[in-house]
Chains A and B, each alone.
Chain A
Amino acid sequence: MTSANSPETLIGIRDLKVDFRLDRTTISQAVKGISFDIPVNSTVALVGESGSGKSVTALAILGLLPRENSTVPPGSQILYGGRNLLVLAPGELQKLRGADISMIFQEPMSSLNPVFSVGFQLTEVLTKHLGMTGRQARVRALELLREVGIPEPETKIDAYPFQLSGGQQQRAMIAIAIACEPKLLIADEPTTALDVTIQKQILELIAALQKRLRMSVLFITHDLALVGEIADYVVVMREGEIKEQGGVEQIFEAPRDAYTRALLLCRPQLERRPRRLPVIDDFLKPGPLAGGSLEERSRGLRGDEEIILEVRHLGKSFYSREGLFGKREFKAVKDVSFKLARGKTLGIVGESGSGKTTVALTLLRLRGESSGEALFDGKDLLSIPPQEMMPYKRRIQIVFQNPYASLNPRFTIGQLLMEPLQVHGIGSNESERRDRVYKLLEEVGLPEVSFFKYPHEFSGGQRQRIAIARCLTMKPDVLICDEAVSALDVSIQAQVLNLLQDLQDEYHMSYIFISHDLAVVKYMADQVMVMNEGEVVEVANSDDIYRSPQHPYTKKLLSSIPQGWHGARAR
């Protein structure tokens, strides 16, 4: 977009630097001198992994950087209408915010004020910036709610945020953001917290509003595939620097920077299933470009595999008290049956609230009583008494979603990994156990010094490796991965997926792989089970289900996957 024939520029960012003071002596450079333009009436996507400085850039445009510990060195400029926003008086800036430049955030639930109705929050903007009267503002608010596609705006205008679904909350947030018809809308990961079907709707809404209101959108995301459909320009950031910027076609068709190429290829794709996913290092290291082996891995069950776990009619209800004596039943899981073959992977996909995590936790008996049976080695795991459960606990293990929450922060890695060995009496003495742990650390790609460190010293991907290593200490037959890679960056995701695949090849473990990310499940799973509202909608071999989905819900789910640049072009 630095080319000569660039259209009129709305906001120009020139050599923007932002420093954060961590403590008295340490200063971290969050943004290291970046320059790019946001043209009028177009969508610019700012793409990067966590810590790349993309959100900081957005906050700098709005003048919302935390005052206590952030500094913008002189020389940085954010030009808007001939004025430098960085040196504007706070009062002036406040007039621009909300009126000319507005923002929507990642978490709609926490960015709407829970104690005010949607209507109140919407009319507040209108009366404040446009000087409307209460009555005018309410009429306009209704119009806006209709515009962002909230059903029954007359009743929803008086609803409180908790009475709306996640998608509706994000729509309300967008309504507030576009209330004053801003020239620039900044969308900071607006769909990351939403389900894939809702994500599609919100993306379409933002794209439609951009065209209709002729505004510019700065779309911030970690998912490069997502922006292929909506962006005109793409800026790729990494560690505070711009790696590459250009038109969307150039970025997707002929990426010049190795990091951009890596981002595009590290994510599992629906069309291909390489034996090993390429990781960022494959691209950044000098030498012949690996790009992952092109050999494809074949997936699927033939039907004659040994069945290790058979679940029949699994049901799980939660009860909430109602009135004095009554209780209300909520069926989280209804009549779920499946078989898991040895050495194979069953993928469970579904949107939030579909009961996929409840299935996993119920199998491990982490969720109290349930109905149905789960036959493991001929024993029903759900009905044996807790004392007899111990030997089976060893054999079914789980990796949780959030590696920051699943490791006890007060334990060293050594303690964390030694504990299962001690509890189950594996290994004859401490030194033998320690040797085992060292071996496992090596296997998951962590150095031996990790033994004495604490979880807070590791990054998300490393922590997830530790969590995997903890499960491996017990040499389980079945490993449940509950959204195990969802919280990780794209590049880290590929590493952890490769690790899981290597371990399965080596130990012949069976995986139950739970995820909302359909591309990741396609890559990992032999068989896919689709769940919706606690029920199994469809079970089939993964290639079949993606090629020819049978159930309407599966079709809807699959059509919501972001198609990326190529997919969008093909349509």
Chain B
Amino acid sequence: MTQAAALAIGVQRAESPGLWTLAWRRFCRDRVGLASFLIVVFFFGLMAASGLHLIAADWSKEVGVNYAPPTFMGPEVADGGQAAPESHGGERAGESNPFDPLAGVLAEIRAAAGAASVAEAQAPTLVFGGDRWGRDVLQKTIKGTETSMFVGLVAALLAAFLATVFGALAGYYGGWIDDFFNWFYNVFTSIPYLLLILAIAAVLNQKGTLTVILILGLTGWTGIFRLVRAEYLKHKVREYIQAADAIGASHARRMFVHILPNVSHVILVQLSLHVVLFIKSEVVLSFLGFGVGVDTVSWGSMLNEAQSELILGYWWQLAAATLAMALLVTGFSLFTDALRDALDPKLK
């Protein structure tokens, strides 16, 4: 009998692939998933490099002329295109407003700074164009990627963390604890989402990256909570949890050592779905003026600027932000899909 068992196992591979290894193997078989994974990795690299000031560190430098067109379109486009710079020059005539009491001071400052800024001539074209102040749109986009992704990731982590803790407690214990969290959940979901976001924004009353993260994280946990709770309801009556109870494992141990790894695929997939969702929400928030501060740039603030530029025919900032966002969001969504297929043991 022993020999038979030994033989049976001997036939199997000597090394033993864990469930994560198997999931990774399934994932690698999915070509679309792998491609999207590379896109996501690329964006993470971009975010890290930008965060470490390796690239796009001087995004706020005014390196080009106002609304410098993209290099591949040539400098003449800007002149031909509705003679925009001229008209803009007119707008900025305010700088030489004779009634400006600070005119003298400004002139002095400009004279002092002038030596430097005049020294490096403002480029007539930039790689992907320039914005109103002549800042490089490409660098701005990279910096915006950093902000937007950071906001999306941290907010999603916060939401997933809250949802996991709440969902685990509610689903595992049931009874009045479950009732309590369900009421809490109902209250949260009964308020229209945008209204809730605006309400929290108004309460926090402060612009900035942290505020955006808090707004999104504190409002976004509800969907994940419901799923985690359902998973816990399902798993707590499974035989392996009864077996754990029978050997004397504590509640906390059963909740977080036994069940959590078994529902982690749900949380992981929800986490990446919410990264995408929150990146989009950040754009909406910034667009509405509740976004990041003026000293930082995000895709949302770029889009916000773009609305006035578009009327004047300067489409490149809009295009850059949209393209970057579309690429990441699509990549991330496909990656999430592939991840779910790979991690969900039922689909095997």
- The answer to whether A394 has its CB under 8 Å from any CB of chain B is yes
- The answer to whether B4 has its CB under 8 Å from any CB of chain A is yes
Residue from B4, B6, B18, B247 within 8 A of A281 (CB atoms): B4
* Contact partners of B29 in chain A: CB under 8 A: 23-24
A394 contacts B9, CB within 8 Å?
A: no
A454 contacts B16, CB within 8 Å?
A: yes
Once A424-B248, A445-B5 are accepted as A-B contacts, the answer to whether A453 and B238 lie under 8 Å apart by CB is no
A457 contacts B238, CB within 8 Å?
A: no
Once A398-B243, A454-B16, A457-B12 are accepted as A-B contacts, the answer to whether A409 and B262 lie under 8 Å apart by CB is yes
B19 contacts A456, CB within 8 Å?
A: yes
- The answer to whether A450 has its CB under 8 Å from any CB of chain B is yes
Interface residues of A in 385-422 (CB under 8 A from B): 390, 393-394, 397-398, 400-402, 405-410, 412, 419-420
Residue from A281, A364, A402, A458 within 8 A of B1 (CB atoms): A281
* Contact partners of A397 in chain B: CB under 8 A: 246-247
* Contact partners of A453 in chain B: CB under 8 A: 16
- The answer to whether B191 has its CB under 8 Å from any CB of chain A is no
Mask, B1-30, CB within 8 Å of A = 1, is: 110111011101010101100000000010
Once A281-B4, A495-B1 are accepted as A-B contacts, the answer to whether A450 and B9 lie under 8 Å apart by CB is yes
A interface residues (Cβ-Cβ under 8 A, vs B): 23-24, 279, 281, 361, 364, 366, 390, 393-394, 397-398, 400-402, 405-410, 412, 419-420, 423-424, 442, 445-447, 449-450, 452-454, 456-459, 462, 465, 467, 470, 474, 495, 498-499
B240 contacts A445, CB within 8 Å?
A: no
- Name the 8 nearest CB pairs between A and B, nearest first: A410-B261, A406-B239, A420-B247, A405-B239, A453-B16, A445-B2, A393-B248, A408-B240
A364 contacts B246, CB within 8 Å?
A: yes
The distance in angstroms between the C-alpha atoms of A361 and B10, with both chains bound, is 37
A449 contacts B249, CB within 8 Å?
A: no
* Contact partners of B9 in chain A: CB under 8 A: 446-447, 449-450, 458, 462
- The answer to whether B100 has its CB under 8 Å from any CB of chain A is no
Smallest distance from the beta carbon of B239 to chain A beta carbons, Å? 4
* Contact partners of A454 in chain B: CB under 8 A: 16, 18-19
The distance in angstroms between the C-alpha atoms of A221 and B8, with both chains bound, is 25
A406 contacts B243, CB within 8 Å?
A: yes
Question: Most A CB atoms within 10 A — which of B239, B242, B246, B261?
Answer: B246
A366 contacts B248, CB within 8 Å?
A: no
The distance in angstroms between the C-alpha atoms of A280 and B39, with both chains bound, is 55
The contact sample of 26 A-B pairs, CB cut-off 8 A, is A361-B242, A364-B246, A366-B245, A366-B246, A393-B247, A397-B246, A405-B238, A405-B239, A406-B243, A408-B261, A409-B19, A412-B16, A423-B250, A423-B253, A424-B247, A424-B248, A445-B2, A445-B5, A447-B10, A454-B16, A454-B19, A457-B12, A458-B9, A462-B9, A470-B243, A498-B1
Chain A, residue nearest B253 (CB) = A423
B6 contacts A447, CB within 8 Å?
A: yes
Residue from B5, B18, B242, B245 within 8 A of A446 (CB atoms): B5
A474 contacts B245, CB within 8 Å?
A: no
* Contact partners of A408 in chain B: CB under 8 A: 240, 244, 258, 261-262
Interface residues of B in 314-348 (CB under 8 A from A): 345
* Contact partners of B240 in chain A: CB under 8 A: 405-409
Once A407-B240, A454-B16, A457-B12 are accepted as A-B contacts, the answer to whether A474 and B247 lie under 8 Å apart by CB is yes
Smallest distance from the beta carbon of A91 to chain B beta carbons, Å? 32
* Contact partners of B345 in chain A: CB under 8 A: 409
* Contact partners of B248 in chain A: CB under 8 A: 390, 393-394, 420, 423-424
Smallest distance from the beta carbon of B261 to chain A beta carbons, Å? 4
The distance in angstroms between the C-alpha atoms of A363 and B248, with both chains bound, is 14
The distance in angstroms between the C-alpha atoms of A407 and B10, with both chains bound, is 22
* Contact partners of B249 in chain A: CB under 8 A: 419, 423
Smallest distance from the beta carbon of A527 to chain B beta carbons, Å? 23
Smallest distance from the beta carbon of B260 to chain A beta carbons, Å? 9
